[in-house]
Chain A
Amino acid sequence: MSQSPSVLAPQEGQRQESQAVGFADVFDDYQRPIYNYLLRMTQNHAEAEDLTQETFIRVHRSLPSFRGEAKLSTWIYRIASNVSTDHFRRGVTQQAKAALSLDEMESEGEWLGDGVSSSPQQLAAQSEMSDCVQRFITRLPTDYRTALVLHDLQALKNREIADVLDISLSTVKIRLHRARKKLREALDTGCDFGHDERNVFFCEPKAPSEEGRP
C-alpha cells in the first residue's frame, strides 16, 4: 500500500466514483485528510487515531452499498463527522467537558481561560502547537469547531460542509462566521504573535496589562 502524497482529499474526478473502488485505495486516498480532521477536532493523537480507525471500519462496512449519490469525499467526511460527534457526545474527552456554549463564551468573555486539563498525550501534542489558538479551538462549541476545521483547515467548500453535516448552507455560513469572529477576537485581545529565531510562528498569551495597577 502506498502513502497518499496529497495533503487534502483527492480532486474530484481523480478517481472514477461510479466504478467500484477498493477499500485499500479509499484508505490510501483519505487516511491523511481524515486523520488530520479528527486530530484537529480532538487535539489528541491517540484519540484521532482511534477515531480514524473507527471511521474506516465504518467505511469498510458501508462501501459495498455506496452508490455515489454523494461525492466519495463528502460521504467519508460525513462518516468521520458522525464518529467525531458520537465521541464528543459520549463526553470522553477533556475538550468536550471544557467546551462552552457560544452564549456562555459570550457572557464569560474568557476565550483563553485555563479550564482545560490535559492528558500526557495532549500535552505532547500541545507542545507542538500554539497554545492560544489551540485553547481557543478547544473551548469552541463542537458545531462551530467542526465548521471552522472543515472549512479553514480541511479546505472544504461551504456547500460540501452543508452536505457533510446535513445542515443548510446558511447554517454553515452562520457557524463559520461566528467561529471566525470569535477566533479573531480571541487572537486580537489575548495573544501576542511573532516568529522565533528559526522563523517558526508562535503565539502566546499576552502579559497582563500594567494599566489600572496601583
Chain B
Amino acid sequence: MNCAECQDIIHAYQGDELEEQLLAETEAHLASCPDCRHEAADLLASLARLRATFPDQMPPAALWGKIQAQTRKQETT
C-alpha cells in the first residue's frame, strides 16, 4: 500500500469499516509511515471536535403527545 491508497481509505479505517486484509495492510502502512499516521491523527482530532460540538440531546418530553394527537386526528378523518 502506498500513501495515496492509504489516505484514500483512511476514513473507512477510522470508521472501522475495512475488511480484514485491507485493515492489516492499512495498519502495516501506518506503522511505517509518519505522514499517514499524522493524517490519521488529524482526522481523528477533527472528528472529536465535531462530536464535542454536537452532544446527544434528549427530545422534548411533549413530542409523543403531539404525535399522538396528530395520528388520532388522521385516524378520525
Residues of A within 8 A of B (CB): 1, 3, 7, 23, 27, 31-32, 35-36, 39-40, 45, 49, 52-53, 56-57, 60-61, 129-130, 133-134, 137, 148, 151-153, 157-158, 173, 176-177, 180, 183-184, 187, 193, 201, 203
Contact = CB atoms under 8 A, between A and B. Distances in A.
Interface residues of B, number: 26
B57 A39 contact: yes
Interface string B27-57: 0000000000000001100110111111011
Interface string B46-77: 11011111101111100110110011001000
Contact of A201 (B11, B52, B58, B64): B52
Say what secondary structure dominates the interface of chain A.
helix
B14 to A, nearest CB: 9
A57 B51 contact: no
B45 to A, nearest CB: 8
Given A35-B57, A49-B59, A180-B43, A201 B49 contact: yes
B49 A49 contact: no
Contacts of A45: 60
Given A57-B70, A57-B74, A157 B51 contact: no
Contact of B53 (A23, A130, A173): A130
Nearest to A57: B70
Contact of B54 (A3, A60, A129, A177): A129
A184 B52 contact: no
A57 B73 CA distance: 11
A109 B60 CA distance: 37
Nearest to B52: A201
B15 A157 contact: yes
A1 B64 contact: yes
A27 B50 CA distance: 27
